Every structure is written in structure tokens, then in C-alpha cells.
Structure 1
Amino acid sequence: MQQEDARVLATVRRLWQGLASPTARFSAGRVAVVVNAGSMACPPGWIGVVEIDGSALAIVPDDDTARRLAIEDESPRSVGTVEFLRSRVQVADVLGPATLDYLLPGRFRPAEEIDVVASKASDPAIESLLSKVGDDEASESGIFGITSPLFSVREHGRVLAVAGYRSWPLGVAHVTALTAPEARGTGLATRLASTAVEHALAAGLLPQWRAADTNPGSRAVARKLGFSAIGRQLSARPVVAEWPAPSADA
């Protein structure tokens, strides 16, 4: 592994350790259990599994859940599956699994430039796009909470696609894109996401891309732009009396 790639990998590990818990640490080739009901690596009170380069953090809300999972001696890859978690606990809901992709130094492959408009999420045309895709897809896209300019492509007043990124800790830029149903398969997402990535790189940030397994189109955009798959993420809500709903970024 090149020295610059190793630095990126170290940053990614530190990022997810910090999100999981102030005391969380990856253990090479193993699963490290983190008890933290308020972790930012998954929705509060949920179970979260984050695998980075063959090591995993399993975030649980309490010691009882940790005992029921009995996860420490399992393979880091096996614990990050819905099937495994359901074999140990009752699961009411899941987010993911998803691939965590990062843009390693010198790997960016910019797409063909496109005319974009800097927009605000409150723009009625943006709200119209969000209404077309529905709440679940809009939330999964990560469009809410963007801290960069919200780049958009328009046609006759309609927004066909949007992209941007949210600043995360340690100089990470979580890049996201969303395309209207009628404009999918046209390459707009790739070209617009390329604009957001260029903006992040110019700001000295490390672009991150998260693509759910149920969204192969999103994963394809990441591949075209040169992102490398470094990790996986899965969150699961155990069956209990009452649990808080997830945030848009968990």
C-alpha cells in the first residue's frame, strides 16, 4: 500500500472510531465491541456494524445486547450482514448494508463538465424533485444537511439532478447525488457528482461515498469517478418497546 493510501486508511479508521465512541478502537482482523447508546456511527439505540479494511466495530446500545450478540470471536465480514444479526437478536428495521467508498490520492476520474446552478434546499424546484423520489429515497441520498453548495442541473425550470457534500469530522466530505426518476440512466448523476467532488478536493477534503446494496446505480457512479471500496456499514434496530427514529446521516 502506498504511503498516501495508508494515510487515507488511517483517517478513515479514526473517523469511524470517533463516530462510534471516544474510546472505540479497531482491532486488526477482529470485531471490537463498543457499548454506546448515543453513538453517531448508527442511529441512537441501534446496533451498528462498521467494517474497515478487514476489521470491524460493532456498536451496541447496552451490555445486554452485547451479550446476546456474542460477536467478538466472529469474522468481521460475517457480522456486517442482516442475516447474522437476525440470527442473534430480533430486528425491527435495518439501514444498509452499504459500501463505504473513498477517493484515494490521484484516483479521481472527473466526468465531462456540465452546466450547473448553485441552489438552496428550500428552492421550490428542489422540493419538487424531492417529492418525486419520496421521503425514504430523499433521506437515503443524504441531500438533507448539505454544507457545500447544492449543485443542480435544470431543464425548462425543472431540477433533473442535485449533488453536494456534507462536511464530516477529520476533513471528510460525504458526497451525495440525487436524480429525478425521468432523468436516470443519462449520466447526469455522474457528471454532477463529479462537480461536487472537484469542489471538495479543491477545499482539501477527503471525498466519501456511501452506496446501499439496493442502489447499484449509486455504486456505479462511485466507480466511474475513481472511488475505492474501503469499508461496509450496517445498522439494525432491535425489537424493544420504543426506539428513536434514525437521523438522515446515520
Structure 2
Amino acid sequence: MGQGGSKFSAGNTVGLFVNEELGAIAGYEIWDDVNAHIEIVTHPNYRSEGYGQAVVSRATDHALSADLLPQYRTLDAWQWSVSFAQGVGYQRFATAYPGICKIMN
């Protein structure tokens, strides 16, 4: 499992092997029959070598060919992930702010 709790499933997943070891894996989870939520995990030994970009690009192409709207969600605090998404071609659409709301009586 990746930091975001990635769950990969057959048919929506792309893997790339490097020296007989899984270097990167990406896939998507379908939300509301419209969105393809892109997920990625890259082996620490193979980061910054383009393998993550390769599998995310392929998963994105697969989602588009299935008439789905791909989305790459991450936290602004994870600047490496924001930069990665922009490098693959994703553009910022919205920003969410997680928090806890306490209702006072």
C-alpha cells in the first residue's frame, strides 16, 4: 500500500519491471462511473528515473480510452507529488482543505 492507501485491481493497473523487480505501478479506481482516480506507487530504488511518469501516463491513457475523466489528487504539503502530477500533464483544478468542524450549542 502507498501513502494514499492505493488499491490496485486487475484491468485498471499498469506495472513496469526494472531488472525483474516491480519498479512502479499505477492504476485507477472508478468513482461515480465518471472519474478515474489515479493511484501510483514507485519503488524507492527507482524514483526520479521516469518509471512513475511512464505508468501514470499509461494508466491515464487507459482511463481516457474508457471514456473516464482521470484525476490525480494529492496534498499541497506533498510538493513532490504536486510537481510529479504537473510533470505528467495534470493541471490544478481545485484545492480541498481537510479539517474538523465542531458545532457549538
TM-score w.r.t. length of structure 1: 0.37
1:204 is matched with: 67
**Percentage of identical aligned residues:** 26
1:166 is matched with: 29
8 Å contact 1:163–1:178 — kept in the other structure?
yes
1:186 is matched with: 49
**2:97 partner SS:** strand
Structure 1 residues not aligned, in runs of 5+: 1-129, 131-137, 240-250
Structure 2 residues not aligned, in runs of 5+: none
**Separation in structure 2 between the aligned mates of residue 207 and residue 224 of structure 1, nearest angstrom:** 15
Q: State the Cα distance separating 1:215 from its structure 2 match.
A: 2.1
**1:152 partner SS:** strand
Q: Does the C-alpha gap of structure 1 residues 146 and 238 become closer, same or farther in structure 2, counting only changes over 3 Å?
A: farther
2:40 is matched with: 177
**Separation in structure 2 between the aligned mates of residue 172 and residue 188 of structure 1, nearest angstrom:** 24
Q: Does the C-alpha gap of structure 1 residues 205 and 189 become closer, same or farther in structure 2, counting only changes over 3 Å?
A: same
2:96 is matched with: 233
> CA deviation digits over 1:106-129, x for unaligned, max 9?
xxxxxxxxxxxxxxxxxxxxxxxx
Count of matched residue positions in the alignment of Structure 1 and Structure 2: 102
2:85 is matched with: 222
Amino acid at match of 2:38: V
TM-score w.r.t. length of structure 2: 0.81
Q: Does the C-alpha gap of structure 1 residues 235 and 170 become closer, same or farther in structure 2, counting only changes over 3 Å?
A: same
**Separation in structure 2 between the aligned mates of residue 219 and residue 148 of structure 1, nearest angstrom:** 26
Q: Does the C-alpha gap of structure 1 residues 184 and 229 become closer, same or farther in structure 2, counting only changes over 3 Å?
A: same
TM alignment of 1:1-250, pairs within 5 A: 130=1, 138-140=2-4, 142-144=5-7, 146=9, 148-237=11-100
**Separation in structure 1 between the aligned mates of residue 49 and residue 75 of structure 2, nearest angstrom:** 20
**2:94 partner SS:** strand
> CA deviation digits over 1:27-77, x for unaligned, max 9?
xxxxxxxxxxxxxxxxxxxxxxxxxxxxxxxxxxxxxxxxxxxxxxxxxxx
8 Å contact 2:8–2:27 — kept in the other structure?
no
Moved over 4 A (4+): 145-148
Q: Does the C-alpha gap of structure 1 residues 211 and 148 become closer, same or farther in structure 2, counting only changes over 3 Å?
A: farther
**Separation in structure 1 between the aligned mates of residue 25 and residue 88 of structure 2, nearest angstrom:** 16
8 Å contact 2:12–2:29 — kept in the other structure?
no
